[in-house]
Amino acid sequence: MAFLERVFSGVQPTGNLHLGNYLGAIKRFVELQDRYDCIYCVVDLHAITVWQDPAELPHAIREVAAAFIACGIDPKRHIVFNQSQVAEHAELAWVFNCVARLGWLNRMTQFKEKAGKDRENASVGLYAYPTLMAADILVYRATHVPVGEDQKQHLELARDIAQKFNNDFGRSIRERGYGEAFFPLPEPLITGEATRVMSLRDGNAKMSKSDASDYSRINLTDDADSIAQKIRRAKTDPEPLPSEEKGLERRPEADNLVGIYAALAGTTRAAVLGEFGNAQFSTFKSALTDLAVAKLGPIGAEMQRLVRDPVAIDAVLADGAARAQKLAAETMKAVKDIVGFVRS
Ligand code: AMP
Ligand code: TRP
Protein backbone atom coordinates (compact mmCIF):
# COMPACT_ATOMS: atom_id res chain seq x y z
CA MET A 1 0.00 0.00 0.00
CA ALA A 2 1.26 3.48 -0.82
CA PHE A 3 1.34 5.89 2.08
CA LEU A 4 0.80 9.61 1.84
CA GLU A 5 4.22 11.27 2.10
CA ARG A 6 4.54 13.21 5.31
CA VAL A 7 7.43 14.59 7.35
CA PHE A 8 7.59 14.47 11.15
CA SER A 9 10.36 15.54 13.47
CA GLY A 10 10.82 16.67 17.05
CA VAL A 11 13.16 18.73 19.19
CA GLN A 12 13.33 18.52 22.98
CA PRO A 13 12.70 21.66 25.03
CA THR A 14 15.75 21.21 27.21
CA GLY A 15 17.35 24.65 26.75
CA ASN A 16 20.53 25.78 24.96
CA LEU A 17 19.41 25.19 21.36
CA HIS A 18 22.66 25.17 19.44
CA LEU A 19 24.28 25.16 16.03
CA GLY A 20 24.08 21.34 15.89
CA ASN A 21 20.31 21.46 16.37
CA TYR A 22 20.13 24.09 13.65
CA LEU A 23 22.37 22.48 11.01
CA GLY A 24 21.51 18.86 11.81
CA ALA A 25 17.78 19.39 12.15
CA ILE A 26 15.88 22.71 12.06
CA LYS A 27 17.55 24.15 8.93
CA ARG A 28 16.61 20.97 7.12
CA PHE A 29 13.05 21.06 8.47
CA VAL A 30 12.75 24.40 6.68
CA GLU A 31 14.09 23.04 3.41
CA LEU A 32 11.54 20.20 3.37
CA GLN A 33 8.53 22.50 3.62
CA ASP A 34 8.15 23.00 -0.10
CA ARG A 35 8.11 19.30 -0.89
CA TYR A 36 6.14 17.71 1.93
CA ASP A 37 3.38 18.25 4.45
CA CYS A 38 5.36 18.68 7.63
CA ILE A 39 4.66 18.26 11.33
CA TYR A 40 7.25 19.72 13.72
CA CYS A 41 6.86 18.97 17.38
CA VAL A 42 8.31 20.34 20.60
CA VAL A 43 8.69 17.02 22.41
CA ASP A 44 8.04 18.00 26.00
CA LEU A 45 7.07 14.44 27.03
CA HIS A 46 10.56 13.38 25.97
CA ALA A 47 12.13 16.24 27.91
CA ILE A 48 10.79 15.01 31.27
CA THR A 49 12.58 11.67 30.92
CA VAL A 50 15.22 13.59 32.85
CA TRP A 51 14.30 16.17 35.52
CA GLN A 52 12.98 19.50 34.20
CA ASP A 53 12.22 22.40 36.50
CA PRO A 54 8.50 23.26 36.12
CA ALA A 55 9.47 26.92 36.55
CA GLU A 56 11.59 26.78 33.41
CA LEU A 57 9.92 24.24 31.16
CA PRO A 58 7.26 26.58 29.70
CA HIS A 59 9.96 29.01 28.53
CA ALA A 60 12.01 26.17 27.03
CA ILE A 61 8.95 24.92 25.12
CA ARG A 62 8.16 28.37 23.75
CA GLU A 63 11.81 28.89 22.85
CA VAL A 64 11.89 25.79 20.61
CA ALA A 65 8.65 26.90 18.95
CA ALA A 66 10.19 30.35 18.47
CA ALA A 67 13.29 28.77 16.93
CA PHE A 68 11.18 26.82 14.45
CA ILE A 69 9.37 29.98 13.37
CA ALA A 70 12.47 32.21 13.40
CA CYS A 71 14.32 29.72 11.19
CA GLY A 72 11.52 29.92 8.64
CA ILE A 73 8.99 27.18 9.37
CA ASP A 74 5.52 28.34 8.39
CA PRO A 75 3.12 27.19 11.15
CA LYS A 76 0.07 28.00 9.01
CA ARG A 77 1.00 25.82 6.06
CA HIS A 78 2.47 23.12 8.30
CA ILE A 79 1.92 22.01 11.89
CA VAL A 80 3.91 23.24 14.89
CA PHE A 81 2.82 22.12 18.37
CA ASN A 82 3.99 20.64 21.65
CA GLN A 83 3.64 16.92 22.20
CA SER A 84 1.84 16.93 25.57
CA GLN A 85 -1.19 18.65 24.02
CA VAL A 86 -1.95 15.59 21.90
CA ALA A 87 -2.66 12.67 24.22
CA GLU A 88 -2.55 10.14 21.37
CA HIS A 89 1.28 10.18 21.42
CA ALA A 90 1.34 8.65 24.88
CA GLU A 91 -1.55 6.35 24.07
CA LEU A 92 0.12 4.85 21.00
CA ALA A 93 3.43 4.66 22.89
CA TRP A 94 1.77 2.28 25.34
CA VAL A 95 0.70 -0.04 22.53
CA PHE A 96 4.25 0.14 21.16
CA ASN A 97 5.66 -0.71 24.60
CA CYS A 98 3.81 -3.97 24.14
CA VAL A 99 5.16 -4.47 20.60
CA ALA A 100 8.83 -3.56 21.16
CA ARG A 101 11.06 -6.16 22.85
CA LEU A 102 13.29 -5.59 25.86
CA GLY A 103 16.23 -6.83 23.82
CA TRP A 104 15.68 -4.08 21.25
CA LEU A 105 15.70 -1.33 23.86
CA ASN A 106 18.70 -2.83 25.61
CA ARG A 107 20.75 -2.08 22.51
CA MET A 108 20.03 1.68 22.48
CA THR A 109 23.34 3.50 22.88
CA GLN A 110 21.75 6.84 23.77
CA PHE A 111 20.13 5.32 26.86
CA LYS A 112 23.48 3.93 27.95
CA GLU A 113 25.13 7.34 27.48
CA LYS A 114 22.37 9.32 29.19
CA ALA A 115 21.86 6.90 32.07
CA GLY A 116 25.60 6.73 32.68
CA LYS A 117 26.94 4.50 35.43
CA ASP A 118 23.93 4.85 37.71
CA ARG A 119 21.56 2.98 35.42
CA GLU A 120 19.37 1.68 38.26
CA ASN A 121 18.46 5.25 39.02
CA ALA A 122 17.46 6.27 35.47
CA SER A 123 13.75 6.86 34.89
CA VAL A 124 11.66 4.18 33.21
CA GLY A 125 10.70 6.93 30.76
CA LEU A 126 14.31 7.39 29.69
CA TYR A 127 14.49 3.68 28.93
CA ALA A 128 11.19 3.63 27.02
CA TYR A 129 11.95 6.92 25.23
CA PRO A 130 12.42 5.30 21.78
CA THR A 131 8.94 3.73 21.81
CA LEU A 132 7.44 7.17 22.44
CA MET A 133 9.55 8.51 19.58
CA ALA A 134 8.19 5.76 17.30
CA ALA A 135 4.66 6.73 18.40
CA ASP A 136 5.34 10.43 17.61
CA ILE A 137 6.14 9.53 14.04
CA LEU A 138 3.67 6.74 13.44
CA VAL A 139 0.64 8.37 15.04
CA TYR A 140 0.75 10.55 11.90
CA ARG A 141 1.87 7.64 9.73
CA ALA A 142 4.76 9.89 8.69
CA THR A 143 7.07 8.55 6.00
CA HIS A 144 10.13 10.81 6.30
CA VAL A 145 11.99 11.92 9.42
CA PRO A 146 14.78 14.52 9.24
CA VAL A 147 17.18 14.12 12.17
CA GLY A 148 20.85 14.37 13.08
CA GLU A 149 23.09 11.32 12.97
CA ASP A 150 22.62 10.61 16.70
CA GLN A 151 18.97 9.61 16.11
CA LYS A 152 19.69 6.97 13.48
CA GLN A 153 19.39 4.03 15.87
CA HIS A 154 16.08 5.32 17.25
CA LEU A 155 14.72 5.57 13.73
CA GLU A 156 15.73 1.99 13.01
CA LEU A 157 13.84 0.95 16.11
CA ALA A 158 10.77 2.88 14.91
CA ARG A 159 10.92 0.94 11.65
CA ASP A 160 11.22 -2.35 13.55
CA ILE A 161 8.19 -1.44 15.67
CA ALA A 162 6.14 -0.49 12.60
CA GLN A 163 7.10 -3.74 10.90
CA LYS A 164 6.35 -5.90 13.93
CA PHE A 165 2.98 -4.23 14.46
CA ASN A 166 2.14 -4.81 10.78
CA ASN A 167 3.15 -8.48 11.12
CA ASP A 168 1.69 -9.26 14.55
CA PHE A 169 -1.66 -7.73 13.61
CA GLY A 170 -1.42 -8.56 9.88
CA ARG A 171 -4.53 -10.67 9.81
CA SER A 172 -6.58 -8.13 11.71
CA ILE A 173 -5.30 -5.31 9.50
CA ARG A 174 -6.39 -7.16 6.36
CA GLU A 175 -9.71 -8.42 7.74
CA ARG A 176 -10.72 -4.99 8.92
CA GLY A 177 -9.94 -3.47 5.54
CA TYR A 178 -6.83 -1.43 6.36
CA GLY A 179 -4.86 -2.84 3.45
CA GLU A 180 -1.73 -4.99 3.64
CA ALA A 181 0.24 -2.89 6.12
CA PHE A 182 -1.06 -0.26 8.52
CA PHE A 183 2.10 1.66 9.36
CA PRO A 184 4.67 2.88 6.83
CA LEU A 185 8.33 2.16 7.62
CA PRO A 186 9.55 5.72 8.24
CA GLU A 187 12.71 6.74 6.44
CA PRO A 188 15.40 8.73 8.20
CA LEU A 189 16.61 11.80 6.31
CA ILE A 190 20.16 12.28 7.55
CA THR A 191 21.79 14.38 4.90
CA GLY A 192 24.10 17.31 4.35
CA GLU A 193 27.51 18.38 5.60
CA ALA A 194 26.61 18.74 9.28
CA THR A 195 24.66 15.69 10.43
CA ARG A 196 26.92 15.49 13.48
CA VAL A 197 28.30 18.85 14.62
CA MET A 198 31.08 18.41 17.15
CA SER A 199 32.01 20.42 20.24
CA LEU A 200 34.20 23.47 19.57
CA ARG A 201 36.42 22.34 22.46
CA ASP A 202 36.80 18.70 21.47
CA GLY A 203 36.46 17.41 17.91
CA ASN A 204 35.65 13.95 19.22
CA ALA A 205 32.62 14.94 21.34
CA LYS A 206 29.21 15.88 19.97
CA MET A 207 28.08 19.49 20.36
CA SER A 208 25.46 19.13 23.07
CA LYS A 209 22.96 21.12 25.12
CA SER A 210 24.25 19.57 28.30
CA ASP A 211 27.99 20.23 27.92
CA ALA A 212 29.10 22.13 31.01
CA SER A 213 31.23 24.51 28.94
CA ASP A 214 29.30 27.14 27.02
CA TYR A 215 32.41 27.52 24.84
CA SER A 216 31.73 24.05 23.43
CA ARG A 217 28.69 25.25 21.50
CA ILE A 218 27.23 28.19 19.63
CA ASN A 219 23.74 28.82 20.98
CA LEU A 220 21.09 30.09 18.61
CA THR A 221 20.56 33.05 20.93
CA ASP A 222 24.27 34.02 21.16
CA ASP A 223 25.05 37.58 20.08
CA ALA A 224 27.73 38.46 17.53
CA ASP A 225 30.40 39.01 20.20
CA SER A 226 29.88 35.60 21.82
CA ILE A 227 29.86 33.88 18.42
CA ALA A 228 33.15 35.60 17.52
CA GLN A 229 34.74 34.74 20.88
CA LYS A 230 33.68 31.09 20.74
CA ILE A 231 34.99 30.62 17.20
CA ARG A 232 38.25 32.39 18.07
CA ARG A 233 38.74 30.06 21.05
CA ALA A 234 37.68 26.93 19.12
CA LYS A 235 40.24 24.15 19.28
CA THR A 236 42.31 23.58 16.13
CA ASP A 237 45.59 21.95 15.19
CA PRO A 238 48.80 23.67 14.08
CA GLU A 239 48.61 22.84 10.35
CA PRO A 240 47.04 25.13 7.75
CA LEU A 241 43.83 23.86 6.11
CA PRO A 242 44.27 21.12 3.51
CA SER A 243 43.19 21.80 -0.06
CA GLU A 244 41.32 18.51 -0.40
CA GLU A 245 38.81 16.63 1.74
CA LYS A 246 41.11 13.69 2.26
CA GLY A 247 43.40 15.99 4.22
CA LEU A 248 40.67 16.37 6.90
CA GLU A 249 41.00 12.74 7.96
CA ARG A 250 42.26 12.41 11.53
CA ARG A 251 41.88 16.18 11.98
CA PRO A 252 38.49 16.21 13.76
CA GLU A 253 38.55 19.89 14.76
CA ALA A 254 39.46 21.06 11.24
CA ASP A 255 36.86 18.72 9.76
CA ASN A 256 34.20 20.08 12.11
CA LEU A 257 34.86 23.76 11.38
CA VAL A 258 34.98 23.15 7.63
CA GLY A 259 31.75 21.14 7.85
CA ILE A 260 30.06 23.95 9.80
CA TYR A 261 31.19 26.49 7.21
CA ALA A 262 29.95 24.30 4.35
CA ALA A 263 26.54 23.74 5.95
CA LEU A 264 26.07 27.42 6.83
CA ALA A 265 27.07 28.49 3.31
CA GLY A 266 24.94 25.79 1.68
CA THR A 267 27.92 24.26 -0.08
CA THR A 268 30.28 21.28 0.36
CA ARG A 269 33.49 20.65 2.29
CA ALA A 270 35.29 20.23 -1.05
CA ALA A 271 34.15 23.67 -2.23
CA VAL A 272 35.16 25.30 1.08
CA LEU A 273 38.61 23.74 0.85
CA GLY A 274 38.84 24.91 -2.77
CA GLU A 275 38.55 28.42 -1.39
CA PHE A 276 40.48 28.11 1.91
CA GLY A 277 43.01 25.34 1.12
CA ASN A 278 46.43 26.28 2.62
CA ALA A 279 44.91 29.14 4.62
CA GLN A 280 45.83 29.56 8.29
CA PHE A 281 43.10 28.94 10.86
CA SER A 282 43.14 32.61 11.84
CA THR A 283 42.02 33.61 8.34
CA PHE A 284 39.47 30.81 8.11
CA LYS A 285 38.06 31.49 11.57
CA SER A 286 37.46 35.12 10.78
CA ALA A 287 35.57 34.17 7.59
CA LEU A 288 33.60 31.58 9.57
CA THR A 289 32.71 34.18 12.19
CA ASP A 290 31.37 36.57 9.55
CA LEU A 291 29.32 33.80 7.98
CA ALA A 292 27.96 32.51 11.32
CA VAL A 293 27.02 36.01 12.49
CA ALA A 294 25.32 36.75 9.17
CA LYS A 295 23.28 33.53 9.27
CA LEU A 296 22.57 33.16 12.99
CA GLY A 297 22.29 36.82 14.04
CA PRO A 298 18.85 37.39 12.48
CA ILE A 299 17.56 34.04 13.79
CA GLY A 300 18.64 34.80 17.36
CA ALA A 301 17.12 38.28 17.19
CA GLU A 302 13.83 36.95 15.85
CA MET A 303 13.71 34.23 18.53
CA GLN A 304 14.20 36.87 21.25
CA ARG A 305 11.43 38.95 19.73
CA LEU A 306 9.02 36.00 19.52
CA VAL A 307 9.56 34.76 23.09
CA ARG A 308 8.68 38.21 24.40
CA ASP A 309 5.10 37.46 23.30
CA PRO A 310 4.25 34.10 24.90
CA VAL A 311 0.53 34.59 24.23
CA ALA A 312 1.16 34.63 20.48
CA ILE A 313 3.39 31.53 20.64
CA ASP A 314 0.84 29.67 22.74
CA ALA A 315 -1.81 30.48 20.13
CA VAL A 316 0.39 28.95 17.40
CA LEU A 317 0.92 25.84 19.54
CA ALA A 318 -2.80 25.51 20.33
CA ASP A 319 -3.75 25.81 16.67
CA GLY A 320 -1.10 23.25 15.68
CA ALA A 321 -2.17 20.87 18.45
CA ALA A 322 -5.81 20.99 17.34
CA ARG A 323 -4.86 20.12 13.77
CA ALA A 324 -2.39 17.43 14.85
CA GLN A 325 -4.92 15.90 17.22
CA LYS A 326 -7.44 15.35 14.42
CA LEU A 327 -4.88 13.35 12.45
CA ALA A 328 -3.67 11.44 15.49
CA ALA A 329 -7.20 10.56 16.59
CA GLU A 330 -7.89 8.89 13.24
CA THR A 331 -4.83 6.68 13.61
CA MET A 332 -5.64 5.79 17.22
CA LYS A 333 -9.19 4.87 16.32
CA ALA A 334 -7.90 2.44 13.71
CA VAL A 335 -5.20 1.07 16.05
CA LYS A 336 -7.80 0.30 18.73
CA ASP A 337 -9.92 -1.44 16.13
CA ILE A 338 -6.93 -3.46 14.84
CA VAL A 339 -5.77 -4.48 18.33
CA GLY A 340 -9.30 -5.58 19.23
CA PHE A 341 -10.30 -3.12 21.94
CA VAL A 342 -14.01 -2.64 22.45
CA ARG A 343 -15.05 0.97 22.04
CA SER A 344 -18.36 2.77 22.05
P1 AMP B 1 17.55 17.23 20.72
O2 AMP B 1 18.09 18.51 21.15
O3 AMP B 1 18.26 16.06 21.31
O4 AMP B 1 16.07 17.13 20.82
O5 AMP B 1 17.88 17.14 19.16
C6 AMP B 1 17.07 17.78 18.19
C7 AMP B 1 17.60 17.47 16.81
O8 AMP B 1 18.93 18.02 16.65
C9 AMP B 1 17.75 15.98 16.50
O10 AMP B 1 17.36 15.74 15.15
C11 AMP B 1 19.20 15.72 16.69
O12 AMP B 1 19.67 14.62 15.92
C13 AMP B 1 19.82 17.01 16.22
N14 AMP B 1 21.13 17.25 16.84
C15 AMP B 1 21.39 17.38 18.16
N16 AMP B 1 22.70 17.59 18.38
C17 AMP B 1 23.29 17.60 17.16
C18 AMP B 1 24.64 17.77 16.70
N19 AMP B 1 25.63 17.98 17.55
N20 AMP B 1 24.87 17.70 15.37
C21 AMP B 1 23.85 17.49 14.49
N22 AMP B 1 22.56 17.33 14.85
C23 AMP B 1 22.28 17.37 16.17
N1 TRP C 1 14.72 11.89 20.21
C2 TRP C 1 14.88 13.08 19.44
C3 TRP C 1 16.12 13.85 19.93
O4 TRP C 1 16.50 13.77 21.05
C5 TRP C 1 13.69 13.99 19.52
C6 TRP C 1 12.46 13.31 19.00
C7 TRP C 1 11.41 12.86 19.74
C8 TRP C 1 12.19 13.02 17.65
N9 TRP C 1 10.47 12.32 18.92
C10 TRP C 1 10.92 12.39 17.65
C11 TRP C 1 12.87 13.21 16.46
C12 TRP C 1 10.33 11.92 16.46
C13 TRP C 1 12.28 12.74 15.28
C14 TRP C 1 11.03 12.12 15.28
O15 TRP C 1 16.71 14.54 19.19
**CA dihedral over 217, 218, 223, 228, signed as positive or negative:** positive
| pLDDT tens digit sequence for 135-187 | 999 999 999 999 999 999 999 999 999 999 999 999 999 999 999 999 999 99
- Using CA positions, which residue lies closest to atom 13 of ligand 2? 9
Give φ, ψ of 283 to 5 degrees.
-65, -50
Q: Name the closest ligand to CA 208.
A: 1
Contacts of 184 (CB under 8 A, 6+ apart): 3, 138, 141, 142, 143, 162
Residue 264 CA to residue 253 CA, distance in Å, equals 17
Q: Which domains does the chain have, with CATH numbers?
A: 6-195+310-339 (3.40.50.620), 214-305 (1.10.240.10)
| 209 is annotated as an active-site residue | yes
| 326 is annotated as an active-site residue | no
Consecutive H or E run containing 11: strand 6-11
Concatenating the DSSP letter of every residue in 182-227 gives SS--PEEE--SS-SSPBPSS-TTSB--TT-S-GGG--BTT--HHHH
pLDDT score of 3: 87
pLDDT score of 99: 98
Q: Is residue 43 within 8 Å of 83, Cβ to Cβ? A: yes
Return the closest-CA partner of residue 18 out of 142, 252, 194.
Answer: 194
- Using CA positions, which residue lies closest to atom 6 of ligand 1? 11
Q: Distance, CA 11 to ligand 2 centroid (Å)?
A: 6
Ligand 1 atom closest to 149 (CA): 12
Q: Is residue 225 within 8 Å of 209, Cβ to Cβ? A: no
Measured from CB, residues less than 6 Å from any atom of ligand 1 are 11-12, 20-21, 24-25, 147-148, 150-151, 195-197, 206-207, 209
pLDDT score of 1: 52
pLDDT score of 343: 80
pLDDT score of 321: 98
Quick check: pTM over 0.75? yes
| 285 is annotated as an active-site residue | no
Q: Distance, CA 14 to ligand 1 centroid (Å)?
A: 12
pLDDT score of 344: 77
Q: Distance, CA 207 to ligand 2 centroid (Å)?
A: 16
- pLDDT < 70: residue spans in the chain: 1
- Using CA positions, which residue lies closest to atom 14 of ligand 1? 21
Q: Is the minimum distance from the CB of 222 to ligand 2 under 6 angstroms? A: no
